[in-house]
Amino acid sequence: MAQISAFEQEKRTRDAVNTALSRLAGEIEEVESRIERTDAYSRLIGLGWDYLETYKPTSCPLCNQTIDPSEALAHLRREMEKVEVTGEIPKLKERAKQLHLERESYESSLRRLRDLQTTLEGIEYTSSGMKPQSLKKLWCSDVSTTMAVLER
């Protein structure tokens, strides 16, 4: 009976790890797409600044509307400062790094659970029924450790 509940606990842990992994995958994708977009925007306003300052066009090179080049330059200056002052790109990169680390830790928990499971299954086939108590304890403690990580 205790063995069945340990297996159930292991399955619940594995499900929880998998749920956490897919949530993380979604978050990572979102943060990375924000990094790309912010990066692209920052390059665009940099190039726009250079273009406006050099050629002083009276129509916008992107949408062709009539513009005042000095007003447009002032606007780009404000946008550049906004991107620099908020430091959004470094912040997003830091967040992406944390999410990747978190994912690695979940993946290693999953691997550990699978390895222990395989070991336990192997022992069950070779010996006559009983699994060594110490190994079972190790497995249960690993499940608890993983649960504790998930419940942080």
Tokens of 130: 């009983």
Least CB distance from residue 115 to Zn ion, whole Å? 58
| Interface ranges with Zn ion (CB under 5 A) | 60, 62-63
Residue 4 or 40: the one with the smaller Cβ distance to Zn ion is 40
Contact of 110 with 16, CB cutoff 8 Å:
no
Rounded CA separation 58/1 (Å): 81
Residue 65 or 134: the one with the smaller Cβ distance to Zn ion is 65
Partnered with residue 66 across adjacent β-strands are: 59
Residue 2 or 63: the one with the smaller Cβ distance to Zn ion is 63
DSSP string, 28-97: HHHHHHHHHHHHHHHHHHHHHHHHHHHH--SB-TTT--B--HHHHHHHHHHHHHHHHHHTHHHHHHHHHH
Residue 59 or 108: the one with the smaller Cβ distance to Zn ion is 59
Least CB distance from residue 58 to Zn ion, whole Å? 12
Least CB distance from residue 67 to Zn ion, whole Å? 7
- In the complex, residue closest to Zn ion by CB: 60
